[in-house]
Amino acid sequence: MAWVTVRRADDGRKRYQGRYRDGSGAKRTAGTFSTEKAAMQAAVRAELALAEGTWIDPRAGRLTFREYAENVWLPSRHLEVTTYAAYASNLRIHFIPFFGDYPMARIMPAMVQAWVNQAGTPKTVAGKERKGLSARSIVKYHVMLHSIFARAVADRIIPFNPCAATDLPKVVATRTRTLTPDEYTRLLAQIPPRFTVMVMTAIETGLRWGELVALRPRHIDTNSCTITVQDTIVEVSAKDSPTGQRMLVKPYPKDDEHRTLAVSQELIDTLTSRIHDLDLSDDDLLFPSRETAGGQPLSRATFNTRYWRPAVQRSGIDFPVRMHDLRHAHASWLLAGGADLRSVMARMGHAQIQTTQKYLHTLDDADQRALAAFHATRSRASR
């Protein structure tokens, strides 16, 4: 039951304080007013909000963004180590410098909009020039920010989500080029010999980086000419890793499903020779950081910087090519050669067929091949 208490201000005038009890039975104040009626109305409104489940604890809103995001939101999520590390990195780099010391209740839609507006501009951090975020990245990070405030609304920390009506930049879809077989041949010729077999395996299997560097001799079946993807290795920043380790071995690849891929006898023979030459045991890594038995996982960043990018430059290919683009090329070549979507989807380890469909028209001559197929079918009908 709401009630009113009387207080005297410094000037001797009476002031009226609306009082009520929260869900735990603790006494709460609904505010101090100049009339008893106003104080009682405020207390009654608070009680109604409690009954309807819309009550917001005014003291909870004083919690800063940093305190809530790091100590409440992030620990409450059920995340894989890579996702946890990515969220921790996003908080540290993109959100806490902007929102960190502000109380949650003081972060308004205009402030979120201000973050969006400045996120795309270059800035200097610790004396280093940092590029602004792309429109696609801003939209992606805004999803995470929206999730933080949505949880705060559910926790009765704040009354509304300040991300609900943000004006986001338009993401313009651009057609990406796919590595052609001729370009791949030129690129492979420039790859240092110690990594040639790894690149050959990547183009023939379409494996993700973490799956590729996690391959071991026991995953190779020489009788059936297959490779089974059972593990993946993820590389995260040590400061954002929940375990403090940079290289984390996970027993399952993406989507928690093993998959077995048919490969050529030529690749099996090449891998078998590598296993023999390096004297690898069943549990050694096929492509370690150093070509020795029992070697440690190969760092993606190190490989890209020291070996991959220089090889791309030497090859004369006139567009940026990432190691991950070998996976895209694998899927595109399969579809261009007539493989059906379902088979390619299973081979790539995609959870949804829509992901596989995007590779249907990635080769430059895809439209011409489609037109040729149309005329071939039409000609048969005419005959």
Using the predicted structure, report yes or no on whether residue 367 has a pLDDT greater than 70: no
Neighbours of 111 (CB within 10 A): 13
Name every residue whose Cβ is closer than 8 Å to that of residue 106 and which is 6 or more positions away in sequence.
Answer: 61
Instruction: Choose among 242, 199, 224: nearest CA to 89.
Output: 242
Flag whether pLDDT at 382 surpasses 60: no
Which residues neighbour 268 within 8 Å (Cβ) at sequence distance 6 or greater? Answer: 220, 222, 225
User: Which amino acid appears at position 226 of this protein?
Assistant: T
CA distances from 45 to 33, 40, 51 (A): 14, 9, 10
**256 pLDDT exceeds 60?**
no
pTM of the model: 0.70
Structural tokens at position 298: 């190969």
What DSSP state is assigned to residue 209? H
| pLDDT exceeds 70 at position 80 | yes
Q: Residue 21: how many CB atoms within 10 A of its CB?
A: 16
What pLDDT shows up at residue 255? 56
Multiple choice CATH, 62-154, 3.30.70, 1.10.150, 3.40.50, 2.40.128:
1.10.150
383 pLDDT band, cuts 50/70/90, is: low
Q: At residue 190, does pLDDT exceed 90?
A: yes
Within 13 Å and on the Cβ side, how many CA atoms surround 187? 25
Domain 183-318 sits in CATH at 1.10.443.10
CATH number, domain 3-55: 3.30.730
pLDDT at res. 377? 64
What lies within 8 Å, CB to CB, of 117 at 6+ separation is none
Give the pLDDT score at 12. 81
| Domain coordinates in residue numbering, the chain | 3-55, 62-154, 183-318
- What count of other Cβ atoms lies within 10 Å of the Cβ of residue 41? 16
What is the three-class DSSP state of 7?
strand
Task: Say what the pLDDT of residue 210 is.
Answer: 92
